[in-house]
Amino acid sequence: MCSALLLLLGSSAASSFNFSGVFGDDCVLQRDSITAVYGFAAAGASVAVSLDGGAAVSATGQPDGTWKALLPAQPAGSNHTIVATSRGAGGAATTAIALRRVSFGDVWFCSGQSNMELPLHYTLTRNDTYAAVAAGRYEQISLLHFDHNPLPQPARVVGGDKVLAP
């Protein structure tokens, strides 16, 4: 799962072309609203982003090593592919990266202090929930848990674990 979260920036520029760590295969983006996809590229690089081979949206690598493109609003649905291509400044080689099996749906961002976490296996109804997941009752739900970040400043790359089933 991925969500259109804020890009967390550090002070050094990225040297390779990639999506931000909040995006990945099997991610979920918010439906029915303009969606930002972003990542890292060389300063001045030309970036083109397309959804399912449609018309490309353009972006440019910024001096801090980032790029951001805005995709038009999409209805709920799944199995989309987002392809981003980059041509470096001065006609450098073209690089393509892709997000596969992307879904558009409802994205919920839940936050709180680390002492507010309650993993499912500590709840009283865990066995019922595990059985419901195993029976396919929640097949349209994906969870992404971001690692704790004890750094005193924002991080460029945010890690997380995709939770498909308990």
Q: Using one digit for the tens of pLDDT, what is the confidence trace for 46-60?
A: 999 999 999 999 999
β-strand partners of 68: 38
Question: What length does the chain have?
Answer: 166
Protein fold of 18-163: Immunoglobulin-like (2.60.40)
Kindly list the distances between the CA atom of residue 85 and the CA atoms of 36, 55, 57, 64, in Å, as whole numbers in the listed order.
Answer: 16, 13, 11, 19
Q: Using one digit for the tens of pLDDT, what is the confidence trace for 77-101?
A: 999 999 999 987 666 678 999 999 9
Residue ranges per domain, the chain? 18-163
- Lowest mean per-residue pLDDT among 17-31, 77-91, 115-129: 115-129
CA-CA-CA-CA dihedral for 29, 141, 148, 17, to nearest 10: -30
Cα distance between the two ends of the chain? 15
User: What letter does residue 115 receive in the DSSP assignment?
Assistant: G
pTM above 0.75, yes or no: no
